[in-house]
Chains A and B, each alone.
Chain A
Amino acid sequence: MNDLFTLMKSELLVTAIIFILLFLKIGKGIQNDKLLTIIQFLLLLNLVFGFFFNEEGSLFGGMFYTNALIVFQKNVLNLGVLLISMLFANWFKKSEHMPEFFMLMLSALLGMFLMISSGNFLLFYLSLELATIPVAAMVNFDLEKRISSEAAMKMILSSAFSSGILLFGISLIYGITGTISFTEMPALLHQSPLMIIVFVFLFAAFAFKLSIVPFHLWTADVYEGAPFAATSFLSVISKGSVAFIFMATLYKVFQPMLGLWYNMMMLLSIATMIIGNLFALRQQSIKRFLAFSSIAQVGFILVGMSSNSTSGTAAVVYFILIYTFSNLAAFGVAAAIAYQTGKEKIDDYKGLYQTNPFLSWVMALALFSLAGIPPTAGFFGKLFLITSGASKANYFFITIAALNMIVSLYYYLKVVRAIFMDKNEQAIEKINIHPTTKFALLLCAAGVIFVGIFSWIYDYIQSLA
């Protein structure tokens, strides 16, 4: 019984917060201001508790498995949700249905936690659905906007289709091996034509969720139509959790088929980086720009994942921690500007530095980190990803990844140039930043700088992996 409470600690805490929110919602109407503070406090408690009472073990006959690395991954996701609750304070306060938004977000987070620690295809499928269905409702949260409902429609249809493909793959793998448990499966897998089909199905489903290239078409549309809070949740938390479980299944379950998935991974990674970069070059809207840049970042994550080693695991987890800080900072700045002025075009940012130096510096830091320029953490993240990818001695692959980093520099710096160098008579007026938003932006900026400089963070992750 004690095991249940220590091992499932993160899940139970999130469930408790969902219930508290439910009671606060049906009880006496509390003002949004107060409620948001309560929610932020609860999420902070949740994050702090994540660091204590960590044990390794499994529950329910191996269905649920957790260890120190998985707990760390959950803490990264918790941190992201806390930052989201602070960054978009302005929007949350105005929103009529704020508690519902958090309930949806936290149930999606609960699904992600269960997904990361699932040890069985049944729990994996259930939690994957729990992690995607609420997100579709979150995307539709701007009920009066036409583009919001269009984006939600695209999201729910593509995610339902991809889970259908995933299920077909799982059903065939059950037919081949007679088991759905992650631990029993590797011994029963042999390379056969049917197995290759199964693998293509499963890979396609994961690629849908991670927006890897042939399956990325929904990403930019959904990101553009969704409210900023939902967009950042999708691009950081949802992507991070799927990357974690994708890596875990590849390394544990599909280890016997290494030769097959390494080649697939290489092809998809190259396609993802090139297409993501080329499309990011021509975007005008900041949301679409960040969407394609996040597709390109997934390509780099795949480079690290293809190494099939513990250093690859450590590099991916470390990179996602950095990516959380830098991408959330970029979305936070864009949201602060959009809430006050309604401007979401990159051209509108010309001359932003004259009027809003703080926002400009945070945005510049975030973009430097996404591009991977040395003083920021993004450089170290990409360095570890690429060095662990290079351990396979496939230098053609690594060269293409490095060349893509140069292409990505061009479009990230284009935005920085618009902010700092271009003169503009009608620059965006002075933005009033909410104090919690300002604090969260400072936290993100500090994370972008210090996660790279403090080497013990990477050492700690490596010791867990």
Chain B
Amino acid sequence: MPEPGLYHLLFISAALFFIGMFGFFTRRNLVTMLMSIELILNSVNINFIAFNKYLWPNKMDGLFFVIFVIAIAAAEAAVAIAIIINLYRSHGSIDVEKAEELKY
């Protein structure tokens, strides 16, 4: 069985990115939308690691970037979930369609 190469990893990451984007635009549940954004961030992580391993093995920038991206994603999710909880308290639902007072 052949080793997976750079193209396989890039394919996976691009697929994850667009799955995340599709989920972000089609799902109406706020937590699912947040999960879609996490998918996008993880696709970025795969990209960085793959480039670091196959193209620039001597430059560790990609690896460091991944560590910071994971940390920031956690911080972002914390604030987003706090906001979603507050939205649930005031609207009684975490469906984006229910939050529709601000328009045009």
Q: Which positions in A face B, CB cutoff 8 Å?
A: 121-122, 125-126, 129, 133, 136-137, 140, 143-147, 149-154, 156-157, 160-161, 163-165, 167-168, 170-172, 174-175, 178-180, 220-221, 224-225
B1 within 8 Å of A (CB atoms) = no
Q: Chain B 80-104 against A: per-residue CB contact (8 Å), 1 yes, 0 no? A: 1011101100110000100101110
Q: How far is the CA of A160 from the CA of B83 in the complex (A)?
A: 13
Inter-subunit contact B102/A168 (CB<8 Å): no
Inter-subunit contact A164/B84 (CB<8 Å): no
Indicate which residue in A152, A168, A174 contacts B43 across the interface (CB closer than 8 Å).
A168
Inter-subunit contact B61/A174 (CB<8 Å): yes
**Contacts A126-B72, A150-B87, A171-B51; is A157 near B102 (CB within 8 Å)?**
no
Inter-subunit contact A172/B68 (CB<8 Å): no
Q: How far is the CA of A165 from the CA of B36 in the complex (A)?
A: 13
Inter-subunit contact A178/B55 (CB<8 Å): yes
The residues in B between 67 and 87 inclusive whose CB is less than 8 angstroms from any CB of A are 68-69, 72, 75-76, 79-80, 82-84, 86-87
The residues in B between 44 and 81 inclusive whose CB is less than 8 angstroms from any CB of A are 44, 47-48, 51, 55-56, 59, 61-62, 64-65, 68-69, 72, 75-76, 79-80
Neighbouring B residues of A165 by C-beta, 8 Å = 40
**Contacts A126-B68, A133-B75, A157-B33; is A172 near B80 (CB within 8 Å)?**
no
Most buried by B among A133, A150, A164: A164
Inter-subunit contact A137/B79 (CB<8 Å): yes
Cβ-closest chain B residue relative to A128: B72
Cβ-closest chain A residue relative to B87: A149
Inter-subunit contact A221/B90 (CB<8 Å): no
Inter-subunit contact A147/B86 (CB<8 Å): no
Neighbouring A residues of B47 by C-beta, 8 Å = 168, 171-172, 175
Inter-subunit contact A180/B86 (CB<8 Å): no
Q: How far is the CA of A167 from the CA of B61 in the complex (A)?
A: 14
Q: How far is the CA of A140 from the CA of B90 in the complex (A)?
A: 12
